[in-house]
Chain A
């Protein structure tokens, strides 16, 4: 019969239309911004800097090695290295960035900076509602705007953050064990009596 194909198609759409009143999965529209889909754990938007503890300046993990600056494809990271050093999470003296700017109007969220960072200092955020009306500096984030606590990192990427914490904890434990062994060896040396002077002509 002529028109049979069209009628079959219209039966299909009618099934979907009336079915959307009855079954939830035929109603696929999410009415943003009143309803939101919860973010997936792996989602990435723009980078942020992680700091441990309460003080963001003292606890910032970044040591200004500038590897992320070199590897960034659109070159949107701009780092100034400090002249002095401050202790990091294991107590070793490290440089820190006096300036760490990311231009998020240039950043393409490729996550290469996260991949190459050897110090677990830069991670990906998942906030995307960042529109601003300041055309010339509003999308240039400095290190204060980029710094977020480790607890925040746990809240957005729980599995990743736990793995990172486990790794850093292991590093810290290794360094502490080495320091303890060195201290014990030094203490043993100081406590033991001085060895006797070798006799002349001794030994065969």
Chain B
């Protein structure tokens, strides 16, 4: 096969000449991992250049799930965008709703009543628990554990999703938060069911940890793999459990203190090394902290209205201006940047997707590791393609 002589002006997916290795022995193997791939968490492609088993270059390619959500939002009203935000990070629909509602409430200066704030915290933390559990389950699946830890996680996730269904009507696409509060009030029966589910969660985390945390195979495969230095993490805009596993203490629930998070006592787990094992441990510890927050919230929830009395469902036109509202979603910092021109539709609607920005450092983490490690590192970033591509 002849070597291609062209010199492309810009880096392009495939029009690159093969790189000859310095000692003159052969070419790099160029492999496209994905988009049809069981380990890529959706339709995602990585263009790898391999020297044997070692990764020399990795370029992520996505956009297979691009639905131009931002343009749909410019043509639909503010309320009509709410069900579309469910479908961004489709595993954690309630936190997406919350981030959008927060941004609009900032834009239109709306107050949220107490009971609605408590309900939002309870649902947000339950979402975080089920997201971290299924993320760890999928990480173990990619390690080769063939679904056993995944099904353990899904057993608990089903109980949480049943709670969501009895409250909002749907297991995943909840469409529950509104600008100024929540759509439907929680009943006393639902609160009791929630207390029962939360009471069973610590035992589940203990079972999960007995199964996994001291497993030698897991430790050998995860420790020291995919190390991310804290300075690079901050400069590259990485947020969420990935940032905290590298040792940087930045949790938006503690920094911005949005909602009523300053009333709850919880700690922020940090990692030392920034490898895959630290990200796994940070997620397990965050599940434990979230359980604490939900227990506190379920104990202290007051009675009262759940919607701002001045909020309008139809004909909602915030005054011209702009706002950026962000929350600590389970995957990282989910932000919404809205520009309003006084009309019923937003002028500019932008989603700051944590999964996309966390992928900036994927190449840095994977250089020099084996292909099997690439699968693990990619799983520990914990992305959802609905958010990356919007």
Cβ of A171 under 8 Å from chain B = no
Cβ of B313 under 8 Å from chain A = yes
Of B101-109, B163-171, B238-246, B262-270, the segment with at least 4 beta carbons within 8 Å of chain A is B163-171
**Nearest B-chain residue to A9, judged by Cβ:** B211
Shortest CB distance B109–A (Å): 23
Cβ of A110 under 8 Å from chain B = yes
Which A residues lie within 8 Å of B80 (CB)? 71-73, 112
For residues 135 through 194 of chain A, which have their beta carbon under 8 Å from a beta carbon of chain B?
none
Per-residue CB contact flags for chain B residues 143-167 toward chain A (1 = under 8 Å, else 0) read: 0000010000001001000100111
Question: A12 contacts which of B166, B173, B184, B207 (Cβ < 8 Å)?
Answer: B207
A109 and B173 form a contact (CB under 8 A):
yes
With A9-B212, A28-B155, A115-B183 as contacts: A42 and B148 at CB distance below 8 Å: no
Shortest CB distance A65–B (Å): 12
Shortest CB distance B209–A (Å): 10
Which A residues lie within 8 Å of B79 (CB)? 71, 112
Of B58-66, B213-221, B273-281, B379-387, the segment with at least 4 beta carbons within 8 Å of chain A is B213-221
For residues 87 through 135 of chain A, which have their beta carbon under 8 Å from a beta carbon of chain B?
108-112, 115-116, 124
With A12-B210, A116-B313 as contacts: A6 and B83 at CB distance below 8 Å: no
Cβ of B77 under 8 Å from chain A = yes
Shortest CB distance A32–B (Å): 14
B215 and A5 form a contact (CB under 8 A):
yes
CA distance A41 to B187 in the complex (A): 13
Which A residues lie within 8 Å of B184 (CB)? 42
Which A residues lie within 8 Å of B148 (CB)? 13
Cβ of A81 under 8 Å from chain B = no
Shortest CB distance B326–A (Å): 24
Give the residue among A5, A6, A13 with the most B Cβ atoms within 10 A: A5
Which A residues lie within 8 Å of B82 (CB)? 110
A9 and B210 form a contact (CB under 8 A):
yes
Cβ of B84 under 8 Å from chain A = yes
Give the residue among B162, B173, B215 with the most A Cβ atoms within 10 A: B215
For residues 216 through 259 of chain B, which have their beta carbon under 8 Å from a beta carbon of chain A?
216-219
CA distance A124 to B216 in the complex (A): 51
Question: B169 contacts which of A4, A6, A12, A43 (Cβ < 8 Å)?
Answer: A43
B173 and A110 form a contact (CB under 8 A):
yes
B170 and A40 form a contact (CB under 8 A):
no
B83 and A108 form a contact (CB under 8 A):
yes
A71 and B215 form a contact (CB under 8 A):
no
Shortest CB distance A26–B (Å): 9
**Nearest B-chain residue to A110, judged by Cβ:** B83
CA distance A110 to B169 in the complex (A): 9
Which B residues lie within 8 Å of A115 (CB)? 183, 313
A6 and B217 form a contact (CB under 8 A):
yes
Cβ of B7 under 8 Å from chain A = no
Cβ of A67 under 8 Å from chain B = yes
Which B residues lie within 8 Å of A71 (CB)? 77, 79-80, 314
B183 and A73 form a contact (CB under 8 A):
no
Question: B175 contacts which of A2, A12, A40, A111 (Cβ < 8 Å)?
Answer: A111
CA distance A136 to B167 in the complex (A): 35
Which A residues lie within 8 Å of B175 (CB)? 110-112
Range of interface residues on chain B?
A: 35 or more
Cβ of A203 under 8 Å from chain B = no
B173 and A108 form a contact (CB under 8 A):
yes
Cβ of B260 under 8 Å from chain A = no
Shortest CB distance A10–B (Å): 9
Range of interface residues on chain A?
A: 20 to 34
Cβ of B76 under 8 Å from chain A = yes
Shortest CB distance A175–B (Å): 24
Which A residues lie within 8 Å of B313 (CB)? 115-116
With A6-B217, A28-B158 as contacts: A13 and B166 at CB distance below 8 Å: no
A73 and B83 form a contact (CB under 8 A):
yes
With A4-B214, A28-B155 as contacts: A42 and B83 at CB distance below 8 Å: no
CA distance A67 to B77 in the complex (A): 13
Shortest CB distance A128–B (Å): 11
For residues 283 through 332 of chain B, which have their beta carbon under 8 Å from a beta carbon of chain A?
313-314
Which B residues lie within 8 Å of A40 (CB)? 162, 165-166
Question: A67 contacts which of B165, B169, B210, B314 (Cβ < 8 Å)?
Answer: B314
**Nearest A-chain residue to B207, judged by Cβ:** A12
For residues 323 through 360 of chain B, which have their beta carbon under 8 Å from a beta carbon of chain A?
none
B169 and A42 form a contact (CB under 8 A):
yes
CA distance A124 to B170 in the complex (A): 11
**Nearest A-chain residue to B76, judged by Cβ:** A73
Q: A42-B168, A73-B80 are in contact. List 16 more A-B contacts (CB 8 A).
A: A4-B216, A5-B213, A5-B215, A5-B219, A6-B216, A8-B210, A8-B215, A9-B210, A12-B211, A40-B162, A43-B170, A71-B80, A71-B314, A109-B170, A110-B175, A112-B83
For this complex, 14 residue pairs linking A to B, each with C-beta atoms less than 8 Å apart, are A5-B215, A5-B219, A6-B216, A8-B210, A28-B155, A28-B158, A40-B165, A40-B166, A41-B166, A42-B165, A42-B167, A109-B173, A111-B175, A112-B79
- B contact residues vs A (CB 8 Å cutoff): 76-77, 79-84, 148, 155, 158, 162, 165-170, 173, 175, 183-184, 207, 210-219, 313-314
Complex A-B, nearest 3 residue pairs according to Cβ-Cβ distance, in ascending order: A5-B214, A110-B83, A73-B80
